[in-house]
Structure formats: C-alpha cells, structure tokens
Amino acid sequence: MLKPVFYSVCVFFFCVFSSLNAQQNLVPNGGFEEYYHCPSTAQGYLIDACKYWTMPTQGTSDYFNACSTEFDSFLNLYFASVPENRYGNQAAKEGNAYAGFIFAQDFDSSLTYAEYIQVQLKQTLEAGAYYHLKFYVHNPLIECPNSIGALFTANPLNINNDYVIPEAPQFQSDLTQFFCDTNSWYELNYSFQANGTENYLTIGTFTPLYILQNTDYNGTIISGQGMKGASVMMYIDDVSLVETAPFEYTNIFSPNSDGVNDLFTIESFYYDEAKIYNRWGTAVYHTETKVAWDGKHNGENCTEGVYYFSLKLKNNITKSGFLTLVR
C-alpha cells in the first residue's frame, strides 16, 4: 500500500538538483594576510594591526605575520613572526599570518580572562539562506583546550571588560574534543540557516575555564570544576563563510556500472551522519563521511524503487529527502 505513495512523492521530486555556484568568502581577510603594519612592540602587535579585524572586548588578542622581524633577545626568539613567535613555532595553515587569543582562569576569583577577534562580514546574511563557516585552530602550548565558539551579531560588540562574553554562540565546538596536538591545525565546521540579521562574526571561547575541563598531554584534568590558574593560547587561521545550497543531489541514480549516475551522492552540505532507508524503514546505508551509495546493502544489490535519506547536520538539525534507484 505504501508503494503508490512513495512513487507519487518521487514524481514530485523528480530529478531534484540544486546547483551550487562558486561563492565568495564573506569574511574579509579571512587568512589574516593583509595588514596595516607588521606586528611589533613599537607599532603594535594586537589584532587591530590586521585589516578588518578588531577586538570586541578589552582582551588583547594578537597578530602574527612572517613580515615581523623583531627579535626578542630575552626570549631568544622572534616576537610576533611566523612560524616562530613568543608562544611557539608553527607555520600558518596557508600563507604567512594568523591570529591568536588567550583565555585564562584567574587564581583569585571565578572570573575568566578571555580574548576574541571580531570582523564585519562583507554583507548581511540573507534570511533563510544556508551558510557554512569553517576555520582552523592550533594549540601551541602544553595545556589542551576544548572550547572554541563563533557568535554572529547584528551590531559590533564593544564590551568594556576582558571577561567571557555573556552570550551563547551559534557555534560551539565539541567539548569532548581536546586540541592537544601541537603539530597540527584542527578544522572546525558549522552549517546553518541564517535569520537575516548576521552582520558581525566574533570568535573565541564563550565558556569559563572553571566550567571547562582542560587537560595536559597525559589526559590529566588541569582546570575545570572550580580549578583555577589555567591558561590557554590558540592560533586561528583561514576563516571562511560561504553561502551553500541546502542540498545538491540528483534523486534518480542507476548503479549499473555504465559510468553514469552509478553512485548516489550528496554534495555541498556538511553533515555528521547520513542514513538511507528502504520503503519498509530498514536502514540500507549508513555513513559518517561523504555519502556515496552504490545501491547495495551487505554486499547485495538493493531492489529498484524509492528510498528515503536522512542527514544529521553539524548543528544537530536533521534534513531528509527521497531518491529512486533504477537498474
């Protein structure tokens, strides 16, 4: 009895395809390559030396660029250069520059010192449109942080203190993931639907360290649950925000090895998990990476007909649709 219903839906969705045009990065100077002056103690080494980026609070976030040649004889290293600077030795994800910010728990109070970077987007986001935010973070120090967030606002923030911003960010990194690898950049992604008021982007930590649980390399908790005195430095590079299609797929595919439509794929949207079900509700395909279904289940060819897919997005929203398998 379900077969006619599914096929009527299939006719409605026949050959659905959302084309994705090449989109510009809506974050100006997302790689931090453009600058007003090279960072130095004489001219200034904070993020406002970098074009378009500002500090939304009294926290003093940093700017690092290979153009900086100031050598600190006391520390015996280059002060604000790339790859070597006063916090570590790390090449940029791309190019010659990156930003950096500290967040630290005060020894004497429950207040958390926090630094942020803020930028005005090239345009206000369109209500109802889909976007994808991506950036990379690196931990140069021994302590392992587990919290990075991104906050979109209609107006610029101008907060007259250096504490954690009392706002809930739209994106919050997975608190079970600790950034302990001091040799690698970590990629963070966030897909979302805009409400049409997003005009500024602020990146930093939005959770006090006395709530978080930072660890050392051995996994020992060194802050969190009331513990004090921890501090963390994070580099950030290659910030991008692009408009995406909510889905990009052809909903009819024919896995007959003719080289045309042999796989069912879903492009352009970022998701944590995807499942495909037959008309009886049995899952015939599951992946936590890119969808590329060959029309088989447990090594056996699935029958022709209509199937249903479900995507769990990065922000825990579920999207779904139909597809038809033809042999």
Identify the pLDDT of residue 27: 98
The whole-chain average pLDDT of the chain stands at: 84
Give the residue from 120, 211, 183, 113 showing the smallest Cα distance to 157.
120
Is residue 188 over pLDDT 60?
A: yes
> What are the angstrom distances between the C-alpha of 295 and each of 267, 274, 320?
17, 15, 18
**Percent residues over pLDDT 90 in the chain:** 57
Identify the pLDDT of residue 246: 67
pTM for the model: 0.72
Domain boundaries, the chain: 2-20+246-325, 47-244
Identify the pLDDT of residue 272: 79
The CATH class of the 47-244 domain is mainly beta
Q: pLDDT-derived band of residue 214, with 50, 70 and 90 as boundaries?
A: low
Q: How far apart are CA 181 and CA 234, in angstroms?
A: 12
Q: How far apart are CA 206 and CA 211, in angstroms?
A: 11
Which option is the CATH number for 2-20+246-325: 2.60.40, 3.90.920, 3.90.550, 3.30.450? Answer: 2.60.40
Identify the pLDDT of residue 145: 80
Identify the pLDDT of residue 116: 97
Q: How far apart are CA 171 and CA 174, in angstroms?
A: 10
Give the residue from 138, 302, 232 showing the smallest Cα distance to 223.
232
3-class secondary-structure state, position 306: strand
> What are the angstrom distances between the C-alpha of 149 and each of 201, 207, 215?
10, 9, 19
Render pLDDT for 78-115 as a digit per residue (tens, 0 to 9): 999 999 999 999 999 999 999 999 987 655 555 678 99
Render pLDDT for 300-309 as a digit per residue (tens, 0 to 9): 999 999 999 9
